[in-house]
Structure 1
Amino acid sequence: MKRRPAAVTAGESAIEAQMQLPDYTVYDLTVLLKITAILSGGALLFGIGYLFYHHVLLAALLTPGGAFGPGLLRKYLLQRRRAALNLQFKQMLFSLSSSLSAGRSVENAFREAVLDLHMFDAEGSSDMIAELNIICARLEYGEPVEEALYDFSKRAGMEDVERFADVFTVCKRTGGDLVEVVRRTSTVIGEKLDIQQDIAVSIAQKKFEAKALLVSPLMMVMFMSLTAGDYMQPMYTGAGRAISTLALVGLFLCYLWTSKIMDIPL
């Protein structure tokens, strides 16, 4: 079981009292986003239901599925945030390695990393810049840098961040060659992140193709309904509705299947 290197210091307590530190394993939606996701999901499902049934009541039976909208939106925004943090962490590692190689102290290396990341984000709104500012603030309170790194790794919930925090802590406390260890660690983690980005780029086209295949049946039904209404009329009566229901279920199962295939953890 992983244990914290040291007890929480007075400086950390003061900082936590002043700010609510972010947790990168969860994503809290605002009330407006939740309402928007529910309404958008309900409207989309109603449109699909009406397209397949041409019956308002039957289409309305699908609208409660919009309640899953906030969960899907939360998952998407969380994945996007963690992917961005992962890339920013890689940039921070290279900045840290360069500063230590140039002879700067550990504390000054973290302060310099803030300036380096501002080159990629002039507004300074990224999560990694915010975390570096938190680390620098804790250093001002006299808290050991390994304590601040450990807390960040705990809230980030990322394997690479946890490994870097562990290596950094062990090296700092045992008096190892911190410059060389950070350089090698940043190189290894950077290469891993490069591979992950290559994989993400490789499957991006397949994800688009999967979405296109899911949308194409809906577009075809819409096109046929608008151009050949008499031909599609049997679909909206009697056994046609049962067939439409089976088609909707099959389409939903295809969505779950493709989502599972394309959900490659990075």
Structure 2
Amino acid sequence: MILPESATQIVITSAVVFVLSAAGAVLAYRPVKEIIRRQEHLYATILQKKLLLNISPRMVTILTLVGMGLLALIGMQVADSGMGALLGAAVGMVIPTVALHALRKRHLHRLEKQLVGGIHTLTSGVRAGLNLVQSLGLLARDGPTPLKHEVAHLLREYEYGVPLEEAMENSALRIGSSDYRLLFAALQTHRHRGGDLGETLERIGNSIREIQRLENRVKTLTAEGRATSRWLGAMPIVVIGIYYFMIDPAGLEAMFADGLGKLLIMLVLLLNVLGFVWIRKIMSVDI
């Protein structure tokens, strides 16, 4: 049976498309697999090592991939182009990471707020006749969340045979706070040199309280600048939205359709991001 010429062309075209798609899938398999592996490792680091949460990184990765697919479909429907799909997939990949970093930042803020009270509990335990490990156990039992979980994790490492100094170093690295590094460094120094542990803890608590007071003062003084940076960061998007929906949609669409117009818009957005980062950097003051 001889196929018509048009049918033959369709068959050949379909075969070529299939072969190219299969080749693209084979070539993209390893890079995509590596990206997924790195993303899963990032989730594991934040969830299990930083936040001490018993959440499967694999499940979060799967949900991220599902979200990327859904947002890619939405982007393709809205923009009616492959660029919209790519943008949607990129947004779907970024959102979970941003959310986890925000959760991590909130967790760290709570830990730092609870530190002075935790040191007061340690001081009370030491002055009641307990040693350092027993005082840490008291804090792990009666302290506030999430501080009690961090101390309990430290003590579990110690009970599994890790030296207390090393367990404190691991805890300082996991928490990532200069205040906790100061506390653990002072405790390690005391274990090597001796002295009145209760007085040492009281001095550390007073020092950290003063540091936090100065940090809060600086945050208050720089609040206006940080608010300005957020307004400046959002302003181009707001202006473009107002111009498109209320003033001249056709003119903006023509700008997006022109190569030079796209370049100018990308340049404006890039300069806006650089300005936002610069202002935030100026407003960030380490005490």
- Report the TM-score when normalising by structure 1: 0.65
1:137-156, aligned counterparts within 5 Å?
137=156, 145-156=164-175
Residue matched to 1:164 = 183
Deviation at 1:151, TM superposition (A): 3.1
**Structure 1 unaligned runs (5+)?**
1-20
SS class of match (1:176): coil
One-letter amino acid of the counterpart of residue 270, structure 2: F
Paired residues of 1:235 and 1:244 also in contact (CA < 8 A): no
Deviation at 1:99, TM superposition (A): 3.1
Paired residues of 2:255 and 2:262 also in contact (CA < 8 A): no
- Higher normalized helix content (fraction of residues): 2
One-letter amino acid of the counterpart of residue 258, structure 1: F
Residue matched to 2:81 = 57
Deviation at 1:254, TM superposition (A): 1.4
Q: How many residues of Structure 1 are paired with residues of Structure 2 in the alignment?
A: 230
1:9-48, aligned counterparts within 5 Å?
22-24=48-50, 30-31=60-61, 34-35=64-65, 38=68
Residue matched to 1:237 = 254
Following the alignment from structure 2 to structure 1, what is the Cα–Cα distance between the partners of residues 52 and 134? 31
Among all aligned residue pairs of Structure 1 and Structure 2, give the percentage whose two residues are the same amino acid: 17
Structure possessing the higher relative contact order (Cα contacts under 8 Å, 6 or more residues apart): 1
Residue matched to 2:276 = 258
One-letter amino acid of the counterpart of residue 192, structure 1: I
SS class of match (1:237): helix
Paired residues of 2:125 and 2:138 also in contact (CA < 8 A): yes
One-letter amino acid of the counterpart of residue 235, structure 1: L
Evaluate the alpha carbon distance shift between residue 192 and residue 239 of structure 1 in structure 2; reply closer, same or farther with a 3 A threshold: closer
Following the alignment from structure 1 to structure 2, what is the Cα–Cα distance between the partners of residues 32 and 198? 43
Deviation at 1:236, TM superposition (A): 1.9
Following the alignment from structure 2 to structure 1, what is the Cα–Cα distance between the partners of residues 221 and 125? 33
Following the alignment from structure 1 to structure 2, what is the Cα–Cα distance between the partners of residues 130 and 160? 17
Evaluate the alpha carbon distance shift between residue 227 and residue 260 of structure 1 in structure 2; reply closer, same or farther with a 3 A threshold: closer
SS class of match (2:143): helix
1:65-84, aligned counterparts within 5 Å?
65-66=90-91, 67-84=93-110
Residue 89 of structure 1 pairs with residue 115 of structure 2: yes
Which one of the candidate residues 223, 226, 241 is aligned to 2:245? 226
Following the alignment from structure 2 to structure 1, what is the Cα–Cα distance between the partners of residues 143 and 185? 23
Paired residues of 2:244 and 2:252 also in contact (CA < 8 A): no
Residue matched to 1:8 = none
**Structure 2 unaligned runs (5+)?**
1-46
Paired residues of 1:90 and 1:193 also in contact (CA < 8 A): no
Paired residues of 2:72 and 2:85 also in contact (CA < 8 A): no
Following the alignment from structure 1 to structure 2, what is the Cα–Cα distance between the partners of residues 90 and 147? 22
Aligned residues: CA RMSD: 4.0
Residue matched to 2:10 = none
Farther off after superposition, 195-204 or 183-192 = 195-204
